[in-house]
């Protein structure tokens, strides 16, 4: 929609007591949707995509016009902090480190991959043969109009589901109150979810990005 069309649709206003995204300074107006009206995105949660300002606020809510609080420094006795920074190794290079240091050795590519995945910016490529394609959902009744969805949009949602499942796995493994038996049981459910989603593996360009379930899962 062009700028002239945008200006004809006023941005909705909300009372200061209304706890909605439109009152949060992290919400950025983007464009006007023909059905939803104004939509925008969140500075902190880019993976949410575009949504209306009337959406309920989240835990990151920051009121407009209010400065972020600055934590007061409290006097504490000095502490010795042991370095846990990862050490990036170059091919053919050896390194030494202090016996008291906890060292995580990895390549530069592995380190960048962790940063990208943690920030939600990891670029998962779509297989070239599907680029620009369309998924058509055709009902049995010929009188009912078929639904077309760009494959790029479907692939983006599939990748988000995959990333959320991976995050769930990490949280299960690191949960301090779950027993090993409970963790294994929950992991099985996650693995079965992966198995149910292997149908979408044909969309991924790289095999390492695909879903992997238990043997025998559909």
pLDDT per residue over 17-47, tens digit each?
Answer: 888 888 888 888 888 888 878 888 888 887 7
Task: State the pLDDT at residue 106.
Answer: 63
* Residue 85, token pair as written in the block: 């920074």
Contact status, residue 83 vs residue 69, Cβ threshold 8 Å: no
| Residue extents of the structural domains in the chain | 18-64, 84-90+100-122, 124-218
pTM of model > 0.85: no
- Evaluate whether 23 touches 14 at the Cβ level (below 8 Å): yes
Rounded CA separation 107/134 (Å):
38
Q: Are 134 and 148 in contact (CB under 8 A)?
A: yes
Q: Render pLDDT for 130-176 as a digit per residue (tens, 0 to 9).
A: 999 999 999 999 899 999 999 999 998 998 888 888 888 889 988 98
Angle 180-196/151-174 helices, nearest 10 degrees? 170
Rounded CA gap, 42 and 55, in Å?
Answer: 11
203 with 155: CB under 8 angstroms?
yes
Predicted pLDDT at 147: 92
CB 104 within 8 Å of CB 82: no
What CA–CA distances, in Å, run from 35 to 20, 133, 154? 19, 25, 20
- Give pLDDT, residue 218: 47
Distances (CA, A) of 170 to 43, 87, 176: 24, 22, 12
Average pLDDT, the chain: 78
Average pLDDT over residues 3-12: 69
- Per cent of the chain over pLDDT 90 is 17
Q: How many residues does the chain have?
A: 218
Three-state SS at 6: helix
Q: How many CB atoms lie within 10 A of CB 92?
A: 5
- Shortest CA distance to 164 belongs to which of 140, 141, 194? 194
> Rounded to whole angstroms, how far apart are CA atoms 22 and 11?
9
Q: How far apart are CA 164 and CA 197, in angstroms?
A: 13
């Amino acid at each position: 929609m062009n700028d002239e069309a945008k200006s004809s649709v006023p941005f909705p206003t909300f009372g200061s007591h209304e706890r909605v995204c439109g009152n949060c300074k992290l919400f950025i107006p983007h464009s006007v949707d023909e059905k939803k009206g104004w939509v925008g995105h969140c500075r902190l949660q880019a993976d949410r995509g575009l949504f209306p300002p009337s959406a309920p606020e989240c835990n990151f809510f920051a009121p407009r016009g209010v400065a972020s609080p600055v934590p007061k420094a409290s006097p504490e006795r000095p502490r010795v902090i042991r370095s846990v920074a990862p050490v990036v190794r170059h091919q053919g290079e050896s390194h030494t480190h202090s016996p008291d240091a906890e060292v995580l050795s990895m390549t530069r590519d592995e380190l960048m991959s962790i940063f990208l995945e943690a920030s939600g910016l990891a670029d998962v490529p779509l297989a070239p043969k599907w680029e620009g394609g369309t998924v058509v959902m055709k009902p049995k009744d010929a009188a009912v109009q078929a639904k077309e969805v760009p494959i790029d949009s479907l692939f983006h949602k599939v990748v988000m589901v995959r990333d959320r499942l991976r995050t769930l796995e990490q949280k299960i493994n690191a949960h301090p109150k779950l027993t090993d038996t409970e963790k294994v049981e929950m992991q099985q459910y996650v693995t079965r979810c992966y198995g149910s989603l292997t149908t979408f593996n044909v969309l991924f360009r790289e095999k390492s990005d695909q879903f992997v379930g238990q043997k025998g899962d559909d």
